[in-house]
Amino acid sequence: ASGHKVQPITLRLIRVMDPKGKILIFITNIPSHDLTPLQVAALYRKRWDIEVLFRFLKQEMNLKHLVCNDANAIAVVLYCTLIAASMILIFKKKNIIKSFKTAKILFVNELINDIIYQALQSEDGILLLKKITKPPNRNQT
């Protein structure tokens, strides 16, 4: 009616068996001469892994909103988030913790305690500690 010709799309139905024996079915427009069924399945698996990673970063690492539009700043935030997530995952594995949330809380608490300990070991920290723990002078009126 409008003069635009609708171009047909050729779709391909792919069935592959995963290592557990489950049949996976994919519909794709990737021609058979470009990728084998196993390559298509591997590609979808990688895509799914990326989706899971982004969900993890949003839900567990609170990376929901970026506060700037600068590409370098966004890259720094992403790198820092990935480094923090990696550190927490290592901590989780090393300490045999099942829940990521529990590992995150314990990791942060341990990190804060370590920072406080290190600060108190410095000369300024020792002076501060002496000032805080000094008994009040009872002779003042």
Same domain, 130 and 102: yes
Q: Identify the pLDDT of residue 124.
A: 77
Same domain, 85 and 117: yes
Q: Which residues of 26-39 are buried (b: 16+ CB within 10 A; e: fewer)?
A: eebeeeeeebebee
Task: Give the number of residues written for the chain.
Answer: 141
State which residues form the domain around 71: 65-134
What is the C-alpha to C-alpha distance for residues 81 and 97, in angstroms, rounded to an integer?
A: 20
Averages of pLDDT over runs of 10 residues in the chain (141 residues) are 82 93 93 92 92 91 87 92 95 96 95 85 74 67 53
Same domain, 126 and 71: yes
| Residues 110/97, Cβ–Cβ less than 8 Å | no
Does residue 3 fall inside a structural domain? no
The pTM of the full predicted model, rounded to 2 decimals, is 0.60
Radius of gyration of the chain (CA): 28
Does residue 76 fall inside a structural domain? yes
Structural domains of the chain, count: 2
Q: Identify the pLDDT of residue 25.
A: 95
